[in-house]
Structure 1
Amino acid sequence: MSLPELVQTELDDEPVAARVNLGGEDGLFVTPTRTLIYRSEGLLSDESVEQYPHDAERISVSEGGRASRKATVTLDYGLDGEQSFSLPSKRLQDALHPVLAGILSAAGITDPGETVKQTFRFSELTLVVTSDRVVKHIGAPVWDEDFEGFHYADVTDLTFEDGSVATSIVLTLGSRQERFKAPNDDARAVRETLTDALCTYHDVPSLDAFRKAKARESEAEPSQDRKNVSFGDGPAPLTANPTELSEKPKNATRPDDPVDLDDGAADSASGVAAEAVTEPESATSSASATFEGSGFESASDETAASVEAVEASKTAETTETTDTGDGIEELRAQVETLTVTVQRQNEQLQRQNELVERLIDELSRGR
């Protein structure tokens, strides 16, 4: 993977031993002499690179509560003061491992070519398992000058004692033993990492083979006084949960309105029906009147008036229906306008949410 141009400029041809992604394009780069923190351009800051030399005397870590997304790593340089950098809490273990390896190398605690296999943090106990030794530090800082180291060349046995809360790791170094405890949740990871490192160093396939080899060496050597063997009590069982490791052993409708008919149409129809129903005598005189001509004209006028009334009623009904249809079309147009407006507002809200999420992401990366 290519390095950012600004990082390449700051490296001065120094090789990068480890790289840790801090989210987005941000990254942590570890060289043999220093740690570089690269911040890409964002909403709150410009592109930048910060440098932290490895000649520190102490490393401390501060983590917020469960709701906090950031952790702070502080490097103490003695009389030269302190320097700190922030990073996402979920990236802490990945970042701390190579930084601590670089500081141990710069301090001469590990030899050239010696690799740091795994770092475990258990409350106030830190264990660093390398290819050649175990480095133990007890206290609030992750590491300072008050540490102890146990080289695999001096180890004669390795055992594990299970407990209800923690597992004791017992290193036997000749006539003495060194004990330290790991929470049961992480005991398996410690057991496998330490066992593998010890067996690889002595070039044996298992702990049983390692013990047999040591037994043969002991038989070949003169007998030694083994009466005064010190068994330290070691630290009390730990109850705090270790920091979570990342990809490593854990320590990683609408209805229409009704239309009313005109009452005049009903009245006209009733009048026509009443005229049609007459007594026989009226029918006879009507026939006579029709023959003479004057009565016929009167009946025709009344019938025509009824027809006109019915047509007027139909015209009124058609007009009312047309008016109602125009209202529905107008309402539909308003709904369409409102729909377009709501869609535009939703798009704006989505863009605002994206900006807020980006801002939160940058803040969580220690910006």
Structure 2
Amino acid sequence: MEIPDLVRDALGDEDVELGVNLGDEDVVCLTPTRTLLYRAEGLLSDEKVQEFPHDVEWLDVDEGRRKTKFVLEYVENTRKFGVPSNRDGAVLELLLTGILRADGVTDPDESVAGAFRFSELVLIVTDKRVVRHIGSAVWTEDYEEYPFSDLTDLSFEQGNVATEVVLEIDGRPKRIKTPNEQSRKVQQVVEDAVFDFYDVGSLEELNATIGVEESEKADDGDAGGSDIDIGGGIDPLVSDDEERSASIDGPTASGSSEAATQAESQSRSGDDSDAASESTGRQERSADAGGSRSSATETTTRSRQSGAASQRDLDAVESQLAELTTAVERHNELLERQQRTIKQLIEELREGR
């Protein structure tokens, strides 16, 4: 990529490490401390270079249909710039390379191999680690990192909707869900970075290699351990045989006999009471039967008449609601079209494109 003269003048003692061509001679350049945006001369603007230092408080991305806007917030102000949507992935990786270095997350010679956004999850893969950030912004100081040097196993578990990247760090699995439509790309980037770090050619070879290294660490830890056996010579308060005997045999024989005698006496008394109650109930139901039939007939007639009227009203309301819904949807569609048109005109005027 050819470096414009105006960018060379702005470099000072620094060099351009990476660059992304935005088309129409516009370019984004990465230096050790800044990202430089070069805009070529256009119909509505002059040739210029904008500077974006890497010591940001947070970074956010606003994706549009044609353009993507990057928002960088600093302690003293906020700066923004836009790029074509088909270049935003490369620009994001370039920006994150500089920001991660400035925050001390990565080494000076470490670069970003891939950056992925899934709703509020951002997954960054460098050549030495995986960094995960969760939040509404793309980057803040609230993040987690998983160095490849601490990796003890790597696997990918595919589900119906998402695939989990399982990074086992010092024996503890860290799971990162990725949508299935992008999971293959994520897996490829993670595998390539890890394989290069350990100089292996497959997932099986990787896990065999890091498994051996972890086993050697465990052996070294055992050799220097204490001679005291914490579990030796200590008997449980209740033995297994005693627990099984108590749960199977239940109460003692004398207690069971007394309980059975009391239950039988109560059962006989209850049977006599139930028989008397049943006789009284039959007499009361016989006396009320005639009056209940007449009342039920009148209630059924009134219910049928009222139900027919209610159904007609309900049909009328549903018809009116459907007409109103259709009208509102058409109105909203027209408003959305107008808003998109106005927004597009404003963006083109601001960017001079």
Q: Deviations over 1:47-73 (max 9, x none)?
A: 111111011121101123xxx422210
* Residue in structure 2 matched with residue 63 of structure 1 by the alignment: 63
Which of 181, 185, 191 is the matching residue for 2:187? Answer: 191
After superposition, the Cα gap between the structure-2 partners of 1:9 and 1:198, relative to the gap in structure 1 and judged at 3 Å, is same
- SS of alignment partner, residue 351 of structure 2: coil
Which of 152, 155, 158 is the matching residue for 1:156? Answer: 152
Which of 106, 110, 120 is the matching residue for 1:114? Answer: 110
Q: What TM-score does the superposition give when structure 1 sets the normalisation length?
A: 0.59
- Partner AA of 2:201 in structure 1: P
After superposition, the Cα gap between the structure-2 partners of 1:364 and 1:149, relative to the gap in structure 1 and judged at 3 Å, is farther
Give the structure with higher Rg (CA): 1
Q: What TM-score does the superposition give when structure 2 sets the normalisation length?
A: 0.61
After superposition, the Cα gap between the structure-2 partners of 1:214 and 1:50, relative to the gap in structure 1 and judged at 3 Å, is closer
CA distance in 1: counterparts of 2:137 and 2:161, whole angstroms: 23
* Residue in structure 1 matched with residue 238 of structure 2 by the alignment: none
After superposition, the Cα gap between the structure-2 partners of 1:8 and 1:188, relative to the gap in structure 1 and judged at 3 Å, is same
- SS of alignment partner, residue 139 of structure 2: coil
- Partner AA of 2:351 in structure 1: G
User: Deviation of residue 2 (structure 1)?
Assistant: 2.9
After superposition, the Cα gap between the structure-2 partners of 1:219 and 1:2, relative to the gap in structure 1 and judged at 3 Å, is closer
After superposition, the Cα gap between the structure-2 partners of 1:219 and 1:37, relative to the gap in structure 1 and judged at 3 Å, is closer
CA distance in 2: counterparts of 1:157 and 1:364, whole angstroms: 52
CA distance in 1: counterparts of 2:349 and 2:20, whole angstroms: 16
1:27 equivalent in alignment to 2:58 = no
1:43 equivalent in alignment to 2:77 = no
Q: Deviations over 1:276-333 (max 9, x none)?
A: xxxxxxxxxxxxxxxxxxxxxxxxxxxxxxxxxxxxxxxxxxxxxxxxxxxxxxxxxx
CA distance in 1: counterparts of 2:204 and 2:349, whole angstroms: 47
After superposition, the Cα gap between the structure-2 partners of 1:219 and 1:178, relative to the gap in structure 1 and judged at 3 Å, is closer
CA distance in 2: counterparts of 1:217 and 1:28, whole angstroms: 42
CA distance in 1: counterparts of 2:96 and 2:162, whole angstroms: 25
CA distance in 1: counterparts of 2:57 and 2:30, whole angstroms: 17
- Asked whether the equivalents of residues 151 and 210 of structure 2 are also in contact (C-alpha less than 8 Å), the reply is no
- Partner AA of 1:32 in structure 2: P
- Partner AA of 1:204 in structure 2: V
Q: Identify the structure with the greater helix proportion.
A: 2
- Asked whether the equivalents of residues 87 and 366 of structure 1 are also in contact (C-alpha less than 8 Å), the reply is no
CA distance in 1: counterparts of 2:135 and 2:76, whole angstroms: 22
CA distance in 2: counterparts of 1:90 and 1:4, whole angstroms: 22
Number of matched pairs: 230
1:53 equivalent in alignment to 2:53 = yes
After superposition, the Cα gap between the structure-2 partners of 1:5 and 1:209, relative to the gap in structure 1 and judged at 3 Å, is same
After superposition, the Cα gap between the structure-2 partners of 1:153 and 1:49, relative to the gap in structure 1 and judged at 3 Å, is same
Task: Tell me the C-alpha RMSD between the 2 structures.
Answer: 2.4
1:181 equivalent in alignment to 2:177 = yes
What aligned pairs does 1:1-367 form with structure 2 within 5 A after superposition?
1-64=1-64, 68-77=65-74, 79-220=75-216, 221-222=218-219, 363=348, 366-367=351-352
Q: Percent identity?
A: 46
- SS of alignment partner, residue 29 of structure 1: strand
- Asked whether the equivalents of residues 153 and 211 of structure 2 are also in contact (C-alpha less than 8 Å), the reply is no
Where does the alignment leave 5 or more consecutive residues of structure 2 unmatched? Answer: 223-343
User: Deviation of residue 365 (structure 1)?
Assistant: 8.9
After superposition, the Cα gap between the structure-2 partners of 1:166 and 1:8, relative to the gap in structure 1 and judged at 3 Å, is same
- SS of alignment partner, residue 80 of structure 1: coil
- SS of alignment partner, residue 110 of structure 1: coil
